[in-house]
Structure 1
Amino acid sequence: METQPYQPGPNRVTFPSEGETLVGTLFLPASYQPGDQLPVVLVSGPWTQVKEQIGHRYGQQLADLGLAALALDFRFYGESGGEPRQLESTQAKVRDLHNAVTFLQTVPAVQAEQVGILGVCAGASVVAYAAAADPRLRAVATVAAWLQHPDTTPLFYGGPEGVQQRLALAAQAQTKFEQTGDMDYVPAYDPAEGSGAAMFFPIDYYANPERGAVPTWLNRFAVVGWQEWLEMDAVAPAQNIRVPVQLVHSDGSALPQNVKRFFEALPGQKDLHWTEGEHTQFYDQEPYVQHAARVVADHFRRVFKAPAKEPRHPNAQLVYDFFQAFGTVDKAWFDRHLSPDFVWHLPGHSPISGDWHGLDGALNGIRATAMRLGNGKNGFELLDVFGHDGGAVSIHRDFYTGDDNHFDLRYVIHYRIADGRITELFEIPFNQYENDRFWNLQQQNLAATQQEPAA
């Protein structure tokens, strides 16, 4: 059976960006219900990263705090398309974020006019350019921002000579790529002397499998990427950002002087939250991530005037889980959450009407019958749930997409629940005649296709 496309938790999404297919994860709060429309935050992580690193960490944190959040693989990285691979291009990332906003404004779970953006580490440099260029981004936040500026870039790369050396390598690599299609690479991270890596100083993150060394991250850096990175001035866009901005930084984070310079240049509503923590502790360590996420989530909620959503009643959550388990045939869930004397009542005169008892009745009875008669063309969508201490009530729709019959009908279900187990449910169709007509006709059609041809 088909189920509602967007569900609480992580949702895999794809969308186009200048001819490439980008892959992302849209995080929705545990309290999300079909029909909800939430403010959403785009998460832009450090350079060379994939979504499973900081993007997922902050995306889940923001969802836990009641917001929707999208972490994505930019083009050239992870599951997304684009050549050459592992190319760090700020301007390409800015265009990807623009197209991500376009995509989000089509998502039913998202409020199209309430899109914000968060940049962590070097992701903040990308966010600065994106926020200055795209008026659809209504709020901005950064955490441990690495904001490139010509005054400070040489400090990290061996002075002006080191910068020029890398720019020369980038130009040579670009020429080679244009002539042969082959790209020059160096490690993205390697602190060994003479490695030539993009990150050549010790960091307890990228080589640590408990932290940043996730399977989807490739330790490679396309040498061409040096040009945009080293010539970037991420402080300059601040003067063109007109929406509210929240910065979270510390003395132990990168380039605090540039963050203060960026803050001073912002012309609109702004706040600088100075806290404690070493730079990479804001990547994935507690309490640093949780603290930063709460500060930025509060900022987005203030801008969007979106109060924190109250947690769903436990019995309402149980009903949502019931629909999930029913759609995926999660026998283990039913073993835990149906009482031994469970009964499912459905009135009428159809193949699915009657009293269905226990786990076998739920999965091998009514579900198996509906699947067999639907022939893979029927589905359901949970529309609303109300939970109370003694049970719950839900409304859902069943539908059929085949050409040989038509069906789109709502049902109300009353659940009796005790000690976290469903003891009984009463399912009532909004139109009993239509329910019986559809299922009886499906049975007749199936029987007709199974008849032996006449001799």
Structure 2
Amino acid sequence: MNTQKITFKNVAWDNAGILHFPADFNQNKKYPTIISMHPIGSCKEQTAGNVYGKALAEAGFVVLVFDASFQGESGGTPRYIENPYQRTDDVRYAIDYLETLSYVDAEKIGILGVCGGGAYSLNIAMTERRIKAVVSITGVNFGRLLRDGFAGGSPMEVLGQIASQRSSEAKGDDLLTINMLPESVEVGKAAGIDDIDVLEATDYYKTSRGQAIGGATSAVYSRLGIGMGWDAFYLAETLLTQPILVVVGDKPGGFGAYRDGYEITRRAASQKKELLVIKGFSHYDLYDQPEPVKQALEKVVPFFKENL
């Protein structure tokens, strides 16, 4: 048994997850356990699960990868909400669930996140002290990303449009669900998009390379306002004290993982903190490309073994 599908209780719905087990798993033993958080617009079957979750299980950890609330196979309506407060709160319920499992060492729980999941992991560790160590893989501060124009304009322009859309929906109009990526790389280029992150995201999510049923790169537009006022790194100087490892590629793109990686490493109060910059690779190379993933894991696995 290398994997097991599970569910755990959240506020008023269930989250769906997959447990990854070491090859020699023995349910009578206790294991250090890692939660692996998927990127924005992703799901448990993609990079957080089939790359990092799988590799960490092979290294001897129990790993829980789960779909965010309102996304993938998890509950919550309406669908396709990206709410940073709920995304981070999901982790508390995941840890509650893990603590009911006899083979989980509750004193040795770590967290890893990819892209938006990386910044979410750093953020939740500030107030969830059951987390003992954090790894961010090409982490992106979702609030900063929205404010920098990813939502389609300046913050005040977008917030005004969101307010108008939400008012219309309150009066009975259909929800406006937007796709955060072009339909293909070719369509993106034809529209004048040349940012490496957007084009490589499209290659990952819209082709057989990484496409998965639960990985809908969509969002309910009227619910993006809450993300505009969110900052993954707020109070990091005071509350982020666990050991952290931040991994980024040195080919920067519009999503800003490179700059976010330097910022959080500088600001974190952690006594043990390291920024690993992998030369010659981009944000999406760290999702699934063998060489940069190998370099990341050569640091990630010993980091968790030392700190859990």
C-alpha distance in structure 1 between counterparts of 2:96 and 2:288, whole Å: 29
Alignment match, 1:185: 177
Q: Which amino acid aligns with 1:49?
A: S
Give the length in aligned residue pairs: 291
Q: Contact 1:65–1:294 (CA<8 Å) still a contact in 2?
A: no
Tell me: higher relative CO, structure 1 or 2? Use CA pairs within 8 A at least 6 residues apart: 2
Alignment match, 1:310: none
Instruction: Sort the Cα spacing of 1:167 and 1:200 in 2 relative to 1 into closer, same or farther, 3 A.
Output: farther
Q: Contact 2:5–2:19 (CA<8 Å) still a contact in 1?
A: yes
Instruction: Sort the Cα spacing of 1:12 and 1:255 in 2 relative to 1 into closer, same or farther, 3 A.
Output: closer
Alignment match, 1:220: 218
Q: Which is worse superposed, 127-136 or 186-195?
A: 186-195
The 5 Å alignment of 1:389-400 reads none
- Three-state SS of the structure 1 residue aligned to 2:224 is helix
Cα shift at 1:125? 2.1
Q: Contact 1:147–1:259 (CA<8 Å) still a contact in 2?
A: no
Q: Which is worse superposed, 216-225 or 102-111?
A: 216-225
Identity of aligned residues (%): 24
Alignment match, 1:246: 245
C-alpha distance in structure 2 between counterparts of 1:225 and 1:124, whole Å: 21
Q: Which is worse superposed, 58-67 or 229-238?
A: 229-238
**2:10 pairs with 1:12:** no
The 5 Å alignment of 1:303-452 reads 303-304=307-308
C-alpha distance in structure 2 between counterparts of 1:151 and 1:88, whole Å: 13
- Alignment TM-score, normalising by the size of structure 1: 0.60
Q: Which amino acid aligns with 2:118?
A: A
Alignment match, 1:41: 34
1:275 aligns with one of 278, 286, 300: 278
Question: Which residues of structure 1 form unaligned runs of 5+?
Answer: 1-6, 305-455
> What do the CA deviations read for 1:248-268 (whole angstroms, capped 9, x no partner)?
112225342222121111112
Question: Which residues of structure 2 form unaligned runs of 5+?
Answer: none
Cα shift at 1:149? 6.1
Alignment match, 1:320: none
- Alignment TM-score, normalising by the size of structure 2: 0.86
Instruction: Sort the Cα spacing of 1:149 and 1:260 in 2 relative to 1 into closer, same or farther, 3 A.
Output: farther
Q: Contact 1:173–1:224 (CA<8 Å) still a contact in 2?
A: yes
2:75 aligns with one of 59, 74, 81: 81
1:51 aligns with one of 30, 44, 49: 44
Cα shift at 1:155? 5.7
Cα shift at 1:50? 1.1
C-alpha distance in structure 1 between counterparts of 2:224 and 2:159, whole Å: 6
Instruction: Sort the Cα spacing of 1:237 and 1:282 in 2 relative to 1 into closer, same or farther, 3 A.
Output: farther
C-alpha distance in structure 2 between counterparts of 1:149 and 1:156, whole Å: 10
Measured on the aligned residues, the alpha-carbon RMSD in Å equals 2.4
1:256 aligns with one of 255, 258, 262: 258
**2:299 pairs with 1:301:** no
Instruction: Sort the Cα spacing of 1:233 and 1:100 in 2 relative to 1 into closer, same or farther, 3 A.
Output: same
Q: Which of the two has greater strand per residue? A: 1
Q: Contact 2:123–2:232 (CA<8 Å) still a contact in 1?
A: yes
